[in-house]
Amino acid sequence: MLMARLKEYDFFKRPIPRSAWHLDFGSSYLDHQMEQFSHLSTEDLLATLTEFAAYAITRSITDIVKMLSEISVIMASGRGTRNHYLMSRLREYMPKGLPLTTSHEFAIPAQFREAIKFETLAYATVNQLANNIPAASGATRFGILGKLVQPPRLAKGVTEYLA
């Protein structure tokens, strides 16, 4: 019953591109679900929420990625890759024939995901390369996100005041 309710959440009814924010699946949402299903054991709640995470991730992939047939592998990264149950459920939900691996297989430690993501965005900003994906974000055009801010000591005309 909990899984059925989670699958019917309004998030999945939003037009694509859609992205979750903290009010969608944040702590208040989780607290409410836990209250509603307090008769379930902690183990059942965690297993169901993990199952739902796998369902939601793969549903988003299949709903959004139009060229799925042209993809040879899906790469997962981040702390969730250490959750063997989550990874097994993700593999089960993946479209048939589409393997799931981790970034470790590509010599990218999964725990460095956030650092690599922000370094890539920074590199694009510094080099004036578009670093957004309109099809994923709903933006009307490509753009350069971020702002390059120099430390005060490098500002023109400041060096004589620092001496």
Same domain flag for 62 and 141: no
Is 95 found in the same domain as 121? no
* pLDDT tens-digit profile, the chain (163 residues): 889 988 998 888 888 878 777 778 888 888 888 889 999 998 999 999 999 999 999 998 998 888 888 999 999 998 899 999 999 999 999 988 899 999 999 998 988 988 998 999 999 999 999 998 887 777 899 999 988 888 887 777 655 655 5
Question: pLDDT at position 163, please?
Answer: 58
76 with 140, same domain: the answer is no
CA 102/CA 80 separation, integer angstroms: 10
Token representation of residue 27: 């702590």
| pLDDT at residue 158 in the model | 59
Domain count, the chain: 2
Contacts of residue 135, defined as CB under 8 A and 6 or more positions apart, other chains included, come to 17
The parent domain of residue 157 ranges over: 111-163
Q: Do 103 and 116 share a domain, yes or no?
A: no
Q: What is the C-alpha separation between 74 and 101, in angstroms, rounded?
A: 6
